[in-house]
């Protein structure tokens, strides 16, 4: 049964926006009608093939002199009402609690026509924004008043239950298109930023403090001291300049390359030997999963939902991000043992395919939609 779904999300490269977009496109390929709503077109939507059942609706906020801060949440709620009334949308799928869940609940109340709200929690909407006393009541309200709630890991679901007390949460893991994200030859791409025989370590993020780019650089500096290697930094954000400055301070600045924002990340990931993600907090770790699908073992933190994705010592390396020395020594040991490295790279790819392929988890979302419509 085809369903008409409105997806409210952030349009940026962060995990919530990426999964929301990938989910909508996968659902559209299965025949559902998808309406994206945000303040700009989602990054992952750009350049995708034309699908006649995918629509984007820009949420515009009028800057009246009376408003010191333009009320995006109200504009989003009004746009959701408009889309439901115009297209007959049946499900409002809010990715991220604030403001999307709150706006979706408000839209449902304004409509009064039985439209359902499903909220997917991605992490910082609960662990960071949700803990802020300025947003805590609104976060709880949006979650509790949703008709259905999903979380991207068991760890996040547990934290949300602690925050919201008794609320029913279904865990639906993030996923990856393992046909798009797969091992592939990279000699030409590697030649641009690495010499023959050098190892390539890769970090992809929005370079916020929680991603610990300083630890990324510290790990790389020790690896570079042990063997010829390069560090590629993909993305942009407030901590990028500090990471580059630390690299120069540690004497490896000439071996660190900031590649900026890149859309075709699936063509860059397979070029790496290791993927570094020593975050202070990760509710799932989508970037690590995408690397695993490309046959690249992650060196990551043992926090949040990452242990649910990466098997320490089998499909990647997990450790305390405050102990960069230990993570670096394990990375060096792996890179120096080609047999062990090949086994871990193969295990990383296998885990992505067998446990996190999008075909597994898209069906779980479809089942969640059906339950809401039948309730």
Q: What pLDDT does residue 22 have? A: 92
pLDDT tens track for 157-211: 998 888 876 678 999 999 999 999 999 999 988 999 999 999 999 999 999 999 9
Highest-confidence range of 51-60, 118-127, 132-141, 158-167, by mean pLDDT? 51-60
Residues 171 and 192 in one domain: no
Residues 106 and 25 in one domain: yes
69 vs 57: CA distance, rounded Å: 22
Residues 166 and 302 in one domain: no
Q: What pLDDT does residue 165 have? A: 64
Rounded average pLDDT over 11-20: 80
Which secondary structure element, helix H or strand E, spans residue 222, and what is its range?
helix 213-226
Residue 35 belongs to a domain: yes
Q: What are phi and psi of 336, to 5 degrees?
A: -85, -10
Residues of the chain above pLDDT 70, percent: 96
Residue 21 belongs to a domain: yes
Residue 10 belongs to a domain: yes
Residue 274 falls in which region: left (phi positive, over 0), alpha (psi -120 to 50) or beta: beta
Q: What pLDDT does residue 69 have? A: 82
Residues 88 and 213 in one domain: no
pLDDT at residue 104 tops 60:
yes
pLDDT at residue 48 tops 70:
no
Residues 367 and 335 in one domain: no
Residue 180 belongs to a domain: no
pLDDT tens track for 278-317: 999 999 999 999 999 999 999 999 999 999 999 999 999 9
Report the mean per-residue pLDDT for the chain: 93
Q: What pLDDT does residue 144 have? A: 92
pLDDT at residue 129 tops 60:
no
Q: What pLDDT does residue 169 have? A: 93
Residues 43 and 144 in one domain: yes
Strand positions, DSSP E, 154-288: 170-171, 199-204, 229-234, 256-260, 274-277
pLDDT tens track for 247-285: 999 999 999 999 998 878 999 999 999 999 999 999 999
Residues 135 and 13 in one domain: yes
pLDDT tens track for 235-251: 999 999 999 999 999 99
Residues 61 and 29 in one domain: yes
Residue 309 belongs to a domain: yes
Residues 338 and 363 in one domain: no
207 vs 125: CA distance, rounded Å: 18
Q: What pLDDT does residue 132 have? A: 66
Residue 370 belongs to a domain: yes
Least confident of 19-33, 113-127, 146-160, 177-191: 113-127
Residues 75 and 65 in one domain: yes
pLDDT at residue 51 tops 90:
no
Contact predicate 289/361, CB 8 Å: no
Residues 247 and 198 in one domain: yes
Q: What pLDDT does residue 13 have? A: 63
Confidence band for 127, pLDDT divided at 50, 70 and 90: low
Residue 247 belongs to a domain: yes
Q: List the CATH number of the domain containing 278.
A: 3.40.50.2000
Helices (H) and strands (E) in the chain, counts: 14, 13
**For residue 116, what are the β-bridge partners?**
91
DSSP string, 65-88: TT-SS--HHHHHHHHHHHHHHHH-
Number of domains in the chain: 2
- Would the pTM of this model clear 0.85, i.e. be above it? yes
Q: What range does the domain containing 81 cover?
A: 4-175+357-374
Residues 149 and 237 in one domain: no
Q: What pLDDT does residue 47 have? A: 62
Which secondary structure element, helix H or strand E, spans residue 63, and what is its range?
none
Residue 182 belongs to a domain: no
């Amino acid at each position: 049964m085809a369903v008409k779904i409105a997806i409210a999300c952030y349009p940026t490269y962060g995990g919530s926006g990426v999964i929301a977009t990938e989910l909508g496109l996968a659902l559209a390929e299965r025949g559902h009608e998808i309406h994206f709503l945000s303040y700009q077109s989602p990054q992952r939507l750009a350049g995708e093939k034309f699908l006649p059942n995918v629509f984007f609706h820009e949420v515009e906020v009028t800057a009246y002199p009376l408003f010191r801060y333009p009320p995006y949440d109200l504009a989003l709620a009004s746009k959701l009402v408009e889309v439901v009334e115009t297209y007959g949308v049946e499900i409002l799928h809010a990715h991220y609690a604030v403001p999307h869940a709150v706006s979706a609940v408000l839209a449902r109340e304004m409509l009064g026509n039985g439209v359902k709200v499903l909220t997917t929690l991605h992490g910082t909407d609960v662990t960071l924004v949700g803990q802020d006393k300025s947003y805590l009541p609104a976060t709880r309200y949006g979650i509790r008043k949703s008709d259905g709630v999903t979380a991207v890991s068991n760890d996040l679901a547990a934290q949300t239950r602690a925050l919201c007390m008794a609320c029913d949460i279904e865990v639906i893991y993030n996923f990856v298109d393992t046909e798009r994200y797969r091992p592939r030859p990279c000699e030409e791409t590697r030649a641009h930023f690495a010499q023959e025989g050098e190892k390539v370590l890769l970090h992809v993020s929005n370079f916020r403090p929680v991603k610990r780019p300083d630890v990324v650089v510290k790990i790389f500096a020790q690896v570079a001291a042990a063997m010829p290697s390069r560090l590629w930094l993909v993305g942009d954000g407030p901590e990028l300049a500090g990471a580059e400055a630390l690299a120069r301070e540690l004497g490896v600045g000439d071996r660190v390359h900031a590649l900026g924002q890149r859309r075709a990340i699936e063509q860059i990931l397979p070029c790496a030997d290791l993927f570094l993600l020593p975050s202070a907090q990760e509710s799932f770790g989508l970037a690590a999963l995408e690397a695993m699908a490309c046959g690249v073992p992650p060196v990551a933190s043992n926090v949040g939902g990452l242990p649910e994705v990466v098997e320490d010592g089998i499909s990647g390396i997990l450790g305390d991000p405050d102990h960069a020395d230990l993570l670096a020594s394990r990375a060096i040991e792996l890179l120096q043992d080609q047999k062990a490295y090949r086994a871990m790279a193969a295990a990383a790819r296998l885990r992505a395919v067998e446990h996190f392929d999008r075909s597994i988890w898209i069906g779980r979302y479809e089942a969640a939609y059906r339950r809401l419509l039948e309730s």
